[in-house]
Structure 1
Amino acid sequence: MDQPQGSAFARPLAPAVVSELREVLGGRLQLSEAIRQQHGSCEAHFETMPPDAVAFPHSTEETARLVQICARHAIPVIPYGAGSSLEGQVVATTGGLCIDLSEMNRIVAVHAADLDCTVQAGVTREQLNEYLRDQGLFFPIDPGANATIGGMAATRASGTNAVRYGTMRDAVLSLTAVMPDGRIVRTARRARKSSAGYDLTRLLIGSEGTLGIITEVTLRLHGIPDAISSAVCAFDTLQGAVDTVITAIQLGVPVARIELVDEVGIGAINSYAKLDLEEKPTLFFEFHGTKASVDEQVEIVREIAIDLGGGEFVWSNLSEERSRLWKARHQAYYAGLSLRPGSTGWATDVCVPISRLADCILETRADLDTTQIPTPIVGHVGDGNFHVLFVLDPASEEEAAEAARLNDRLVARALAMDGTCTGEHGIGLGKQQWLIEEHGPGVDIMRLIKRALDPGNLFNPGKIFAMP
């Protein structure tokens, strides 16, 4: 099967190229070893592969000028947001220029009457929601990390609110992007629907920087609900917790968030976040709407949970309490790593049809119970997506091989259930062979698109699939 490949592109930047880049950016072109190393790594277990230089543009036009220089000199380009990717999307497999968009962090416009806004790619989701709060609006896509909006679009992120509000695919109305030849393209207008030509917006969403560099994003917004209520509920069995999710979804209860953390994960969260949750399979809920509709949702879900072995609902209705609860859930990755100081995390995810969720999670947990590697399961289970974290000894080749074997079994199981090899992490370096297994000849079509838009294979080379 295809594997990530190196390239003859990898070489130090020539002094003449550095001079051209500095004409655009001045001191915002960085060549220091520390900054290059930082930009050649991600949150996950992949080897650090630094770029040859890091650029910090402030506008779409500057980004386009950088790309034009790189195109003339056949220099690879790697877009970078917050560096929170989990499948090696930002590592520089062939050297080249890393374009860090984090300083493009201006909120361009908010159209409150139309429930949309336009932001530069480096705006983070927390920054955006802080800005919107006084206008009674919020942006719901929440992958956990304080990721940049451009990075979230590039990886087709989703997260805890996806069960009600959808993913980045649903949230993005339009993109501005710099293409591999340096052209600037706006993919759509702000209209809520259009039948005008190919859907370039969704072609770029999820392309992981291989087709274009996203520099501005126009987003759908939502009104802040009148009532928000959060709760946790522990279950006697993992089966009961997952069946509660399936039943609630099949009954059409519009829960905003349903998050699963198994007993291994709860133990880690308790220790890391100083909580005292029961160390059992646990669901984290959040309900949005009017007070009457929230009360109705709560009662329905409570009855389902009681029937399936759930315990008492522990409520967090105050904003500070809800924030503490969800912060603990969002820190599950770091909580897992704390189970084993000095460890390396290998986070993986799959997504299956909701009717197969219980089978997939239970079979996976049984697999994981055969290893001594700590392996918490967490998941945005309301839409069939869950994650496994392998907490590895970085010096142990045996553990790495065991994790790879268990991950292969997990992904093969999900595909056999007509699921996907990744619900939200993307392909990057880590799941290229499974992309081929999932899409078959469709990957050849993806390669044709890549070759047409980026004939020199300069945009994030080596990611998603190899180019023969």
Structure 2
Amino acid sequence: MSVNNATRRFVGGWQRAFSANASLKRPSTNRAPNTVTLRQTSRWTSRSAFALAASAGVLGFGIAALTFDGYSRRTASLFDAKAPGPKYASMSDMELALQEIREEIKANGEDEDIISTDSEELHAHGYSEWSTVNPEGLPVAVAYPRSTEQVSIIARICHKYHVPIIGYSGGSSLEGHFSAPYGGISVDFAFMDKIIQFNKDDMDIVVQPSIGWQDLNTELSRMDSGLFFPIDPGPSAKIGGMIGTNCSGTNAVRYGTMKDWVINLTVVLADGTIIKTRRRPRKSSAGYNLNGIFVGSEGTLGLVTEATLKLAIVPEETSVAVVSFPSIRDAASAAAGIMQAGIPVASMEVMDEVQMRVINLGGATAPRVWKEAPTLFFKFAGTKTSVRDNINQVKSITQANQGSHFEFAKDEREQKLLWSARKEVLWSMLAMRKEGEEVWSTDVAVPFSRLAELIEVSKKEMDDMGLFASILGHIGDGNFHESIIYDRTKKEEVAKVEKCVKNMVNRALDSRKHPHRGHEALTDMAKKTIADFECAVDGTCTGEHAIGWGKKASLLREVGPDTVSVMMQIKGALDPLWIMNPGKIFDIPR
């Protein structure tokens, strides 16, 4: 019997073993209106959820041990060979922990029950419709803290009982980040979505983790501040998750990534200790750069409850332009010319012909119909004179690289129209699905000079496999995404997708071997590409989606066991019980 089948049968046994109990009070939450409704409708009772979480801890640990035995041996030098791996709370201990959390929260003046064991809430906090992976298991409860102090109480009691803690803000991550393979408590920051302090003269702002970046910018605009927060990932992203994954978005080519905009953080550690990483000046040489440790740590080292963020000046003038090309290579050549000319574009995005067709079929930008060809999207920002000059320079370079149908926005309405295609990518792909189908979306990043080759070969492989897949990317910084629609009920189709994604990641990392060697159908340019790929590309398995549960093996391949060992040492020092989002980034030690 396979490990996965054994897991399903064991979990099923727990579900059948318990009858329905009344759910505890579910706190009201204000969810975003564009939240995708989950298609899975399995019902979980409070008792069966507890049971599943307990069994998930045992099974998840066993699966990790079986699957990553070689990995564990390579990192075993970090731990006492005789010391056991982490042991998580039993079902009865989890119940005691929940009771104690409720009592202490109430004793500290909170009248409303902040803990939910509602079955739908548990499912929504343990399963993601758009994630590439969904490990078995659900949290036993969802906590909705209202303050840093309440988060500290939750962490301290979970630490006492060895209960896993999984942070949750926007729930839009793609690599299984908020899954609960070992049960535990999901800490949802839905009620911590406020602006705490705005320092206009210093151009910074203190916020809680569940405020969305779009809501933050709306509020800054309402205050007529003349400032904005420039990091712009998916529209549903929240600041907490953006910090956890060190996200970026379409503005990265000009403004960088999340790490570049964090001044300081308030963090609750695994044992409930509250720390602030540094003070508010924009530069400091005081000790270790703790921001650099927590930004991108995916909730495995602590829970961020406040963040002080830099803000940027709203440009005097902005504009958007689009231009289509006969091939991805032509588009990439144009992008390279623009970067090498030093033209300060605010954003430069690429979408292939498949993605442009998906936008048309989805109808999200109707009545606009797009040319179904590889397309570059540009944002320009600056003074009126500089924006005009930059548009003219970009137009000249794109025309020299076979670009056509160059169109730039003449007013704000046209800007929104032209840029809307780029922002509707995920929703358009989701709208294309039929019953039983999923969208697998993943990313890699490579040095800019290797991007065109990698995209071309990856597209060729997806076409050869007969997959309905598209390419889009932040072409200005070498980061691109594959989005693949597949039928999850067909094993052979799932296998194709997994192979395609694995090959893409491996090409980005080193690409010494290539699956299309000798393929006569390739163009001369593609054959040259294969020869070029004999040397290491020196890319990364993820430019902005992070590791989560889904890319742990790729991380090990990318940085090697010694570097992963250093990461695990940091994890072990800050979270010796391994209760903070366990199983993410790397496996728990045995």
Greater relative contact order: 1 or 2 (C-alpha under 8 angstroms, separation 6 or more)? 1
Match of 2:197 in 1: 109
- For the pair 1:254 / 2:344, whether they are aligned, the reply is yes
Match of 1:88 in 2: 176
Within 5 Å, give how 1:400-411 maps onto structure 2.
400-411=494-505
Match of 2:547 in 1: 427
Contact 2:164 2:579 in 1 (8 A): yes
- For the pair 1:436 / 2:522, whether they are aligned, the reply is no
Specify which of 206, 230, 233 is matched with residue 118 of structure 1. Answer: 206
What is the identity, as a one-letter code, of the residue corresponding to 1:118?
A: V
Contact 2:86 2:578 in 1 (8 A): no
Contact 1:376 1:388 in 2 (8 A): yes
Within 5 Å, give how 1:31-430 maps onto structure 2.
31-42=117-128, 43-47=130-134, 49-133=137-221, 134-272=224-362, 273=364, 274=366, 275-342=368-435, 343-416=437-510, 417-430=537-550
Contact 2:232 2:250 in 1 (8 A): yes
Inter-CA distance 22–238: structure 2 relative to 1 (3 Å threshold): same
Query: In the aligned structure 1, how far is the partner of 2:374 from the partner of 2:137?
Result: 38
Which whole-Å deviations, capped at 9, do the CAs of 1:328-385 have from their partners, x for residues lacking one? 3122122123333232111110001111111111111111111222111111111100
Inter-CA distance 310–211: structure 2 relative to 1 (3 Å threshold): same
Specify which of 99, 113, 127 is matched with residue 27 of structure 1. Answer: 113
Q: Name the SS of the counterpart of 1:450 in structure 2.
A: helix
- For the pair 1:446 / 2:551, whether they are aligned, the reply is no
Kindly state the Cα deviation for residue 196 of structure 1 after the two structures are TM-superposed.
0.8
Kindly state the Cα deviation for residue 66 of structure 1 after the two structures are TM-superposed.
0.6
Q: Name the SS of the counterpart of 2:469 in structure 1.
A: coil
Kindly state the Cα deviation for residue 183 of structure 1 after the two structures are TM-superposed.
0.6
Query: In the aligned structure 1, how far is the partner of 2:414 from the partner of 2:89?
Result: 50
Contact 1:233 1:312 in 2 (8 A): yes
Kindly state the Cα deviation for residue 322 of structure 1 after the two structures are TM-superposed.
2.4
What is the identity, as a one-letter code, of the residue corresponding to 1:443?
A: V
TM-score computed with the length of structure 2 as normaliser: 0.77
Contact 2:323 2:376 in 1 (8 A): yes
Q: Name the SS of the counterpart of 1:376 in structure 2.
A: strand
Query: In the aligned structure 2, how far is the partner of 1:339 from the partner of 1:14?
Result: 41
Kindly state the Cα deviation for residue 146 of structure 1 after the two structures are TM-superposed.
2.1
Which whole-Å deviations, capped at 9, do the CAs of 1:38-78 have from their partners, x for residues lacking one? 11122314236320000011111110011001000110000
Query: In the aligned structure 1, how far is the partner of 2:271 from the partner of 2:254?
Result: 38
Report how many aligned residue pairs link the two structures.
Answer: 468
Query: In the aligned structure 2, how far is the partner of 1:156 from the partner of 1:351?
Result: 14
Query: In the aligned structure 1, how far is the partner of 2:463 from the partner of 2:89?
Result: 42
What is the identity, as a one-letter code, of the residue corresponding to 2:547?
A: I
Kindly state the Cα deviation for residue 11 of structure 1 after the two structures are TM-superposed.
4.7
Q: Name the SS of the counterpart of 1:434 in structure 2.
A: helix
Gap regions ≥5 residues in structure 1:
none
Specify which of 67, 85, 88 is matched with residue 9 of structure 1. Answer: 88
Larger radius of gyration: 2
Kindly state the Cα deviation for residue 243 of structure 1 after the two structures are TM-superposed.
1.0
What is the identity, as a one-letter code, of the residue corresponding to 1:27?
A: D
Query: In the aligned structure 2, how far is the partner of 1:327 from the partner of 1:7?
Result: 47
Inter-CA distance 10–34: structure 2 relative to 1 (3 Å threshold): farther
What's the C-alpha RMSD, in Å, of the aligned pairs?
A: 1.7
Comparing 19-28 with 349-358, greater Cα deviation is found at 19-28
Contact 1:160 1:258 in 2 (8 A): yes
Contact 1:36 1:51 in 2 (8 A): yes
